[in-house]
A and B are shown apart, each in its own frame.
Chain A
Amino acid sequence: DIVMTQSPDSLAVSLGERATINCKSSQSILYSSTNKNYLAWYQKKPGQPPKLLVYWASTRESGVPDRFSGSGSGTEFTLTISSLQAEDVAVYYCQQYFTTPQTFGPGTKVEIK
């Protein structure tokens, strides 16, 4: 199975400041024939289902604010919240879908400083 790791475990950011979450996969999740990275990012708030933010590592889901952006390739990926808003307090998960089983990272908790 592909193991996903995330850093940091948690971070506190001031309103309006940038939040950066890192995700690493234990093997490359870049499919050479499509040149696509099989990685998604989700936002999870208590009592709610996960919300898809980004797929193919950098494609923002429809309706997701443009302050959320994904980047990276191969084994290292980043989710950036360019200007943190109060409603962004949540746990963020990366997930690979390159191979079965799809696997999630352990999550990064984002709070307001």
Chain B
Amino acid sequence: QVQLVESGGGLVKPGGSLRLSCAASGFTFRDYYMSWIRQAPGKGLEWISFIGTSTSIIYYADSVKGRFTISRDNGNNSLYLQMNSLTAEDTAVYYCARDKRYSAYWGQGTLVTVSS
């Protein structure tokens, strides 16, 4: 069955960096777009980035453009999100999800807290 497991979240100071990982299994990872979506505490859902089956198609929301970098390793069935210049507004649960339109497959999420 499809499994997505995020890791790498934690507490980081404003201006700091963090790298999230998403380990995928149960499907042919290289054949699917992958996405990162986040939910800030008490807020709604925000689709922040997706990456195509190769790395030629990448999208970033304006809120993270220039600070976050999405990447993938098809050989290791893994998705990544490098987050730099973090601010308090980036505090959220970060989910990886399969596909870029709608998704039936989400990880459990990893919490990123940006605070001094």
Q: How far is the CA of A40 from the CA of B108 in the complex (A)?
A: 20
Interchain CB contact under 8 A, B44 and A52: no
A95 contacts chain B at the CB level, 8 A cutoff: yes
A8 contacts chain B at the CB level, 8 A cutoff: no
Interchain CB contact under 8 A, A106 and B47: no
Q: Known: A49-B95, A50-B45, A104-B47. Is A55-B106 also a contact (CB below 8 A)?
A: no
Interchain CB contact under 8 A, B45 and A49: no
Closest B residue, CB atoms, query A44 = B45
A102 contacts chain B at the CB level, 8 A cutoff: yes
Q: How far is the CA of A107 from the CA of B44 in the complex (A)?
A: 7
Q: How far is the CA of A38 from the CA of B107 in the complex (A)?
A: 23
Q: Which of B48-102 touch A at CB < 8 Å?
A: 59, 61, 95, 97, 100-102
Interchain CB contact under 8 A, B107 and A95: no
Interchain CB contact under 8 A, A61 and B44: no
Interface residues of B (CB under 8 A from A): 44-47, 59, 61, 95, 97, 100-104, 106-109
